[in-house]
Structure 1
Amino acid sequence: MDSLLKHMVDMTGHRDHAMLDISVISAVQELAGAIQTRIVSIQGGAGQQVLRARASIRRGSAAQLEESYEATPGEPLAVYPELARCLGECRASAESVQPDGTRILWLPLWFGDKAGACLEIRNDHPFAADTLHTVGGIVGVYRNFQNLLDYSERDSLTGLLNRKTFDDQLARMLHGAHEPDARQGGQPERRQPHAEEKQWLAVVDVDHFKTVNDKFGHLYGDEVLILIANLLQSSFRAQDRVFRFGGEEFVVLLRSTTLEATWKIIERFRSNVEQHVFPQVGRVTVSVGFVAIRAFESPVVTLGHADQALYHAKSSGRNRACHYDDLVSDGVLQTVASNDTAEFF
């Protein structure tokens, strides 16, 4: 009982989804004495769903987050028919015995009628009834706390991540390449597998949005923002993070990709918006400014560079994307002195 209470206190003390994942699998692993415990994301459409582990722990080892889990191919859900049936029937659990005798228990994390993730426990012997009862209670607390975290991190209109969450994730991205990550057992984060790959920050602004509000009203203006948010989510990759920064401005953090790929991704989004037919409003376009994220450069400076590129995109015709370093190389913008908190123009 003391161990269970300790784990519950630990779980509810976190304000970060990843740390909460680590906490819950550590608790379940200890209480179930399992071979392995994982949090597995369930992604994709009907008939094409895949499982991607986002955090795992093995017997005798420390819990860890899976690197770039969203960028991996994943395991087809069809490999586990018991789990597929469980999800299709909206059941609370499923169990399977593998050819080697390993038993797998799945506990989907239901949010309404959708399960976006699942707790997976592997063991070499049957699960005791009292263990199942205790683990089920932990999953319930985990699910409720995930809901609370999600509510505090998301914009109420668009459902995208909010400004506060952006500030936290940008700071982590700026410093993560050189600082030990407590979630990885003190090991430095490894988010740049190739030297030419970088992290990127893109600022997106809806062109002439004030005109939309003035001409059609704020109700249609809100609908435009919601549809832009949907296009952002469908145009960018699963491992990228999309935020509503405020008003008609959005920010995207692109993870581990090259300049060429970044251009393609951003242009794909810009083109998708340009070609989309917005109800009543008709045609809407966006302008984008983006910059590479450099370790230990302050968030203010990084965001300021992306804003400069965005300003140039808007002042030179709108409905276009501009890369800060290209503008500097071409002599359109000049680098200026800066300190840790502000940039001087």
Structure 2
Amino acid sequence: MDSLLRHMVDMTGHRDHTMLDISAISAVQELAGALQTRVLAINTVRGQKFVRPRAMVGAGLPPRLFDQPDSAQLDEPLSGYPELGACIAQHEDSVEAITADGRRILWLPIWMGDKVTTCLEIVHPHPYSSDTIHVIGGIVSVYRNFQNLLDYSERDSLTGLLNRKTFDDQLNKMVQVTAEHEPAPPPLPGQPERRQHVDSEKQWLAVVDVDHFKAVNDKFGHLYGDEVLILIANLLQSSFRAQDRVFRFGGEEFVVLLRSTSLVNAQKIIDRFRTNVESYEFPQVGRVTVSVGFVGISAYESPVNILGRADQALYYAKSNGRNQACHYDQLVSGGQLQAVASNATAEFF
């Protein structure tokens, strides 16, 4: 009982999804005597569901996180988990499978209303006792409730996207991850800047702004304006990859953090979203376009400077025709923008 209470106190003390994941699987691992416990993310991409590990703990091993730049390589089709797929399709709370060597795998989808984006997976060497099932059920209930509370505090009430407060934390984490994978140190004063090759994979920040949004509100009213924002949020979620993060900054401004891809692919992904918006028929309003400015994330730049440079590229896109995506470094190398340490005119500050 003391161990259970200790884990409950630990779980309810976190205000971060990552630490909540670690607390939940650590509690299950110890109290159920499991061989391995994982948090699985369930993502839907173009109508197909994928499974990706988000965190894992094994017997005698420390917890491991998979929130890394190459985590997309861990995606597996849900069809590779037929029992779990059937469980989700039938909206059930749990399902168990037995492996060829006799191990038990228990999957516990975390339902948020009629949607599931998270699942606990527990591997056990023997059949689960009723007491173990009861303890696991209690942990899952607490975990689900706190997932709901964190989602409520981290998401924009209109669009359901992540909010500005969450963005600050996510960008700082991405800069830290970049520092672990970016080998070149910053140049010393007076030395030429050493840039990464354009084809190398890195992290990216894109700022999105709806073109002429004030005119939409003025002509059609704020209800239709809100509908445009909701539909663009949906297009953002469907156009970008499951490992990317999409935020609403407020008003008609959005930000995307793209994980681990090359400049060529980042441009393709961003342009795919831009053309999806351009070709979409918005009810009553008709055609709407967006402008985008984006920049690579460097471990040697402050988050304020990174965001400011993306905002500079966005300002250039909106001042030179709109409905386009502009890369900050390409604008600087082409002479359209002058590189500065920070952007004093950024609209976000």
Moved more, 80-89 or 326-335: 80-89
Find the residue that maps to 1:178 and give its secondary structure.
helix
Find the residue that maps to 2:179 and give its secondary structure.
coil
Cross-structure match for 1:220: 224
**Count of residue pairs brought into register by the alignment:** 330
Q: Distance in 2 between matches of 1:83 and 1:260?
A: 36
Q: How far did 1:49 drift? A: 3.3
- Counterpart among 234, 249, 252 of residue 248 in structure 1: 252
Q: Distance in 1 between matches of 2:259 and 2:46?
A: 27
Amino acid paired to 1:22: I
Determine whether 1:132 maps to 2:133: yes
Q: How far did 1:304 drift? A: 0.9
Q: How far did 1:82 drift? A: 3.2
Cross-structure match for 1:158: 159
Contact 2:17-2:147 at 8 Å conserved across structures: yes
Determine whether 1:202 maps to 2:206: yes
Moved more, 108-117 or 214-223: 108-117
Determine whether 1:43 maps to 2:43: yes
Q: Deviations for 1:254-281, whole angstroms, at most 9, x for unmatched residues?
A: 1111111111111111111111111111
Cross-structure match for 1:175: 176
Q: What is the correspondence of 1:11-22 to structure 2 with a 5 Å cutoff?
A: 11-22=11-22
Find the residue that maps to 1:43 and give its secondary structure.
strand
- Counterpart among 264, 268, 278 of residue 264 in structure 1: 268
Q: How far did 1:203 drift? A: 0.5
Cross-structure match for 1:93: 94
Find the residue that maps to 1:37 and give its secondary structure.
strand
Cα RMSD, aligned residues only: 2.3
Moved more, 169-178 or 303-312: 169-178
Determine whether 1:325 maps to 2:347: no
Pair 1:8–1:227, CA change in 2 (3 A): same
Fraction of identical pairs, as percent: 69
Contact 2:305-2:341 at 8 Å conserved across structures: no
Find the residue that maps to 1:44 and give its secondary structure.
strand
Structure 1 unpaired stretches of 5+: 181-191
Q: How far did 1:296 drift? A: 3.6
Q: How far did 1:105 drift? A: 1.2
TM value normalised by structure 1: 0.90
TM value normalised by structure 2: 0.89
Q: Deviations for 1:182-231, whole angstroms, at most 9, x for unmatched residues?
A: xxxxxxxxxx9x98111111111100000000000000000110111111
Q: How far did 1:337 drift? A: 4.1
Q: What is the correspondence of 1:43-62 to structure 2 with a 5 Å cutoff?
A: 43-44=43-44, 48-62=48-62
Find the residue that maps to 2:301 and give its secondary structure.
coil
Q: Distance in 2 between matches of 1:325 and 1:247?
A: 27
Q: Distance in 2 between matches of 1:284 and 1:229?
A: 13
Q: Distance in 1 between matches of 2:340 and 2:155?
A: 34
Contact 2:199-2:262 at 8 Å conserved across structures: no
Q: Distance in 1 between matches of 2:214 and 2:45?
A: 36
- Counterpart among 234, 249, 254 of residue 238 in structure 2: 234
Moved more, 34-43 or 315-324: 34-43
Moved more, 138-147 or 326-335: 326-335
Q: How far did 1:177 drift? A: 3.3
Contact 1:300-1:343 at 8 Å conserved across structures: no
Q: Distance in 2 between matches of 1:303 and 1:47?
A: 32
Find the residue that maps to 1:159 and give its secondary structure.
coil
Structure 2 unpaired stretches of 5+: 182-195
